[in-house]
Structures are given as C-alpha cells and as structure tokens.
Structure 1
Amino acid sequence: MIPHRAGSTRRLLVIAGTVVALAAVTLGRYAAQTVRPDCVVGVSRLTDGSGRTLPDSDARVWSDTELADRAYRLAVDSGRCDPPRARWRQWLG
C-alpha cells in the first residue's frame, strides 16, 4: 500500500482548483463573445466574363465577406434583423 501524504492531497487540490478556474474563465470568455442572431440577408455582386468582381461607383471592389457584413448592418439598421449580442443572452432566449 502506498503511504498517504498530506502534501500530495494539497497538491491535488491545487491542481483541481486550477483546472476548475481555467474552465470557468474559458466558459466566461466564450459566453461573452458577441455573435449575430440568425438572420437571412441577400447579397449580390456584378462580375466580368472571367468571374472577377466589378468595382462599385466609388471604384471599390468588395469581398464576399464585406458584402455580407454590409447587408447584415443594413438589415439591422432597418429593423429586419436583431443586432449582435453576447452569446449568453442567446442562451437565455
């Protein structure tokens, strides 16, 4: 039988406490992240014959992500979509 030492129990408690604290911090950070609620937005773009996106009237070429983000912001501004919020708020409904 292995002799029981008070130091090993204390060390085990410190390790367990550290793991629990790290898990709580990780969950807290995950829950606090800002996320978009489900919302469907339409995006369109004009391309040339090779499939390259044509610039807009200001000579800017928008990426697909930028177009989707812009469409979402416009939908939020018009009241068709809910604004982004903390993930934990979505868990509550």
Structure 2
Amino acid sequence: MKRNHRARILLACSVVAIFAFGWYATQTVRPPDCDVTFSAITDADGQPLSESGEQVTWDELGERVYQDMVASGRCDPPAARWRHWLG
C-alpha cells in the first residue's frame, strides 16, 4: 500500500471519528443527577393507566413526571451532553 493512500485512509478515519464524537457530545440528555421515580396503576397486561383512563406507555409517564419536576425547579432541563461533562 502506498504511503499517500494510507495517509488518505487515516485522514478519512480521523474525520469520521471527529464527526461521530461531535454528534455524540451535542446530543440533548437529561441531567445525570435527576432521578425520576413514579408509580402507576396498571391493567391486566401490566400497562399503565393514566388518570383520565387513556392508554399511555411507561416512557410517556416518565417524561410527564420529568417535565413536572423541571417545571417545579427540582430538576434542570435537558442540555447538551458536553455540558454535563464540564460539571
């Protein structure tokens, strides 16, 4: 393999790695110190029931509880992952 060809492959791999790291670092995530705990009444299949009787998923209920905690000031809103790395 020629030296010039290896250099191009190394450059391409470096660009892809930098792009992937940048994408990962800028993803919006919840603060790591905000634990959301909740309970729900379930139907016979183990699926949660909302207070209004509509069908919801566990993820939707968790998101509602988290948004309520953010609104009340008990948790910080989601931010870019790199902000959590800085402390």
Inter-partner Cα distance in structure 2 for 1:22 and 1:42? 38
In the TM superposition, 1:34-73 aligns within 5 A as 34-38=28-32, 39-48=34-43, 50=44, 51-57=46-52, 59-73=53-67
Identical columns (%): 44
Could you give the per-residue CA deviations for residues 5-56 of structure 1, whole angstroms, max 9, x where no partner exists? xx811111101100110000000000010110121223121234x3453353
Inter-partner Cα distance in structure 2 for 1:46 and 1:9? 66
Could you give the per-residue CA deviations for residues 60-82 of structure 1, whole angstroms, max 9, x where no partner exists? 12211111110000000110001
Give the unaligned 5+ runs of structure 1.
1-6
Give the unaligned 5+ runs of structure 2.
none
The yes-or-no answer on 1:24 pairing with 2:18 is: yes
Q: Supply the RMSD in Å over aligned alpha carbons.
A: 1.8
Q: Secondary structure at the match of 2:2?
A: helix
Larger radius of gyration, structure 1 or 2? 1
